[in-house]
Amino acid sequence: MHSTSLRQALRAPRYLLGVWPWRSAAYLLSGALVGAATLVSLLLLAVVGGALAVVVVGLPLLLMLALAGIPLAALERRRLRLVDPVVLPDPHRDPDGTGPAAWVRVRLKEPNTWRELGYALLCAFVFWPLEAVALGTVAGVCGGLLAAPVVMATAGGGEEVRVLKVWLADSYPQVFAAALTGALLLPVLAYPLGLVAAGRAALTRRLLSPRYDAAAESRIQELGRSRIRLVDAFEAERRRIERDLHDGAQQRLVALSMALGLARLENPGEPLRGLLARAHDEADTALVEIRELIRGIHPQVLTDRGLREAVEDIADRSTVPVDVRFDLPGRLPEPVETAAYFAVSEALANVAKHSGAARAEVRGRIADGALVVEVTDDGSGGADLAAGSGLQGVADRLSVLDGRLLVVSPPGGPTVFRVRVPCPPGVAPAPGAVPAPGPVVGPVVGPVVGTRA
């Protein structure tokens, strides 16, 4: 069985034969390098920033110093994967707006930023020397012993060599014994090395994990689960209503319309002719209305073809021309598709109603394990997340899936409406899903059909 983390690997009998000793060494080596680089960067920022602060230009450098923990922590979370596959989540919030200023404002207010700065200081002043010592000792001792015969043959002129600068060896059997000891010592020392690496990893995890209170956490989890159940139930109900309308009322109306159509062929005299014509018109109107109603409840194309085609369908109906560009690997999990669909639907409805835009664009892609869909328009801006109940509904719906809605709409425009829904890679597509026909990206008016004409 393959071990999935260093801690498990250390207990397994095959530890020495696997990659884990190497991973431990790589983890400690990269830790030492990163720590040293951090030390240099922090000192430079502090010294130069402090010196220039008097003439104001140093202030941005000091701000960078304050935020220095953030990139380091991000790197450390990635580096941790060398010895521990469990992903350490990023504790930072999404910024409230676009642009660097909004990002800095949010970051400075977060306690995590300051904890990460503390971690950076620990790395710079405490951890990396220890890592360097641990790695240096193992490499120095084993390397020194293993190299003894070579050193004797070259530098020692075949006469003598001071092994590890301690023992004087003056014959080949002695230096080969030293080399053998080195070879035997290497696997022995691989254990403490692994332990040090595992300890360092555990410390990183502890220091960089988001803080929480277990009781509150379990309550929150239960609340989250019950919200998911509610949304699922709500979605199932929508589907049921859609199916009932479709298989019941709509079919009966078609049959009624057909009967009225046939009745009109019988050439009835007035006033029956006029009455039948009116009844037929009413049936037609009812059919149009029920068709639109069903589509609003849950569009069949979303189930059949997925997000891209469903969004293209909304774009087709929009009074404002909309370009659609999706770059998706295939079908996404059903709740993700549904939430994104209704979000885009609401966004485009707002574009049509309020923005005064001449064009809009929908772009969708997978980035960092999340579906990101952006709706932009060239309208007059001024959309307010708090004002529209529709937008609030979208935000609520997304939050159930740990998704986020961001609306940036300065007066004068442009408006950017961004939806981000976590969407783990490699998730099995929804049941009955048809794989999307490749990563086709294109404007909404699809490819030219060719020369059929």
Partner 1 sequence: MVRVVLAEDSVLLRDGLVGLLERFGLRVVAGAGTADELIAAVAEHRPDIVVTDVRMPPGFSDEGLRAALELRERQPGLPVLVLSQYVQRAYAEELLDSSDGTGVGYLLKERIGHVEEFVDAVRRVAEGATVVDPEVVRQLLRHRRDPLSRLTPREQDVLALMAEGRSNSAVAGALHVSEGTVSKHFGSILTKLDLSVTDATNRRVLAVLAYLRGA
Beta carbons of 383 and 355 less than 8 angstroms apart: yes
* CA-only gyration radius of the chain, Å: 33
Q: Min. distance of Cβ 434 from partner 1 in angstroms?
A: 8
Nearer to partner 1 by Cβ, of 100 and 432: the residue is: 432
Single out the residue of 39, 301, 406, 441 in contact with partner 1 (rule: CB under 8 A): 301
Q: How far apart are the first and last CA of the chain?
A: 61
Single out the residue of 81, 205, 291, 363 in contact with partner 1 (rule: CB under 8 A): 291
Residue 327 Cα distances to 86, 103, 232, angstroms: 28, 27, 27
Residue 389 Cα distances to 124, 224, 409, 431, angstroms: 49, 22, 16, 32
Angle at 363 between CA 362 and CA 364, to 5 degrees: 125
Q: Min. distance of Cβ 274 from partner 1 in angstroms?
A: 17
Beta carbons of 119 and 69 less than 8 angstroms apart: yes
Backbone angles phi, psi at 172, to 5 degrees: -60, -45
- Residue 31's closest CA among 69, 67, 80? 80
**Contact between 452 and partner 1 per CB under 8 A:** yes
Beta carbons of 5 and 84 less than 8 angstroms apart: yes
Binding residues for partner 1, total number by CB under 8 A: 50
Nearer to partner 1 by Cβ, of 98 and 285: the residue is: 285
Q: Min. distance of Cβ 346 from partner 1 in angstroms?
A: 20
Classified as helix, coil or strand, 306 is: coil
**Ranges within 239-278 binding partner 1 (CB under 8 A):** 243, 246-247, 250-255, 257-262, 265
Which residue stretch of 135-143, 173-181, 297-305, 334-342 sits at the interface with partner 1 (rule: CB under 8 A)?
A: 297-305
Beta carbons of 63 and 100 less than 8 angstroms apart: no
Q: How far apart are CA 245 and CA 295, in angstroms?
A: 11
Single out the residue of 287, 293, 366, 406 in contact with partner 1 (rule: CB under 8 A): 287
Single out the residue of 280, 325, 365, 404 in contact with partner 1 (rule: CB under 8 A): 280
| DSSP, residue by residue, 244-267 | HIIIIIIHHHHHHHHHHHHHHHT-
Q: How far apart are CA 147 and CA 156, in angstroms?
A: 12
> Mask 302-341, x = binds partner 1 (CB under 8 A)?
-xxx---x--xx-xxxxx-x--------------------
**Ranges within 382-441 binding partner 1 (CB under 8 A):** 432
Nearer to partner 1 by Cβ, of 92 and 264: the residue is: 264
Nearer to partner 1 by Cβ, of 92 and 280: the residue is: 280
Q: Min. distance of Cβ 334 from partner 1 in angstroms?
A: 13
Q: Min. distance of Cβ 298 from partner 1 in angstroms?
A: 11
List residues bridging with 367 in a β-sheet: 370
Q: Side chain identity at 406, as an amino acid letter? A: L
Q: Min. distance of Cβ 256 from partner 1 in angstroms?
A: 8
Single out the residue of 32, 283, 311, 408 in contact with partner 1 (rule: CB under 8 A): 283
Q: How far apart are CA 205 and CA 110, in angstroms?
A: 19
Tokens matching residue 111: 């306690």
Nearer to partner 1 by Cβ, of 46 and 290: the residue is: 290
Residue 270 Cα distances to 135, 207, 273, 418, angstroms: 102, 88, 5, 59
Nearer to partner 1 by Cβ, of 67 and 253: the residue is: 253
Nearer to partner 1 by Cβ, of 95 and 321: the residue is: 321
Classified as helix, coil or strand, 406 is: strand
Residue 167 DSSP class: E
Q: Min. distance of Cβ 325 from partner 1 in angstroms?
A: 14
Backbone angles phi, psi at 328, to 5 degrees: -120, 150
Nearer to partner 1 by Cβ, of 170 and 316: the residue is: 316
Single out the residue of 25, 82, 120, 294 in contact with partner 1 (rule: CB under 8 A): 294
Q: How far apart are CA 30 and CA 131, in angstroms?
A: 9
Q: Min. distance of Cβ 93 from partner 1 in angstroms?
A: 38
Nearer to partner 1 by Cβ, of 316 and 402: the residue is: 316
Q: Min. distance of Cβ 259 from partner 1 in angstroms?
A: 7
Nearer to partner 1 by Cβ, of 257 and 350: the residue is: 257
Nearer to partner 1 by Cβ, of 85 and 435: the residue is: 435
Single out the residue of 295, 325, 363, 365 in contact with partner 1 (rule: CB under 8 A): 295
Nearer to partner 1 by Cβ, of 60 and 296: the residue is: 296
List residues bridging with 408 in a β-sheet: 416
Binding positions for partner 1, rule: CB under 8 A:
243, 246-247, 250-255, 257-262, 265, 280, 283-284, 287-288, 291, 294-295, 299-301, 303-305, 309, 312-313, 315-319, 321, 432, 443-450, 452-453
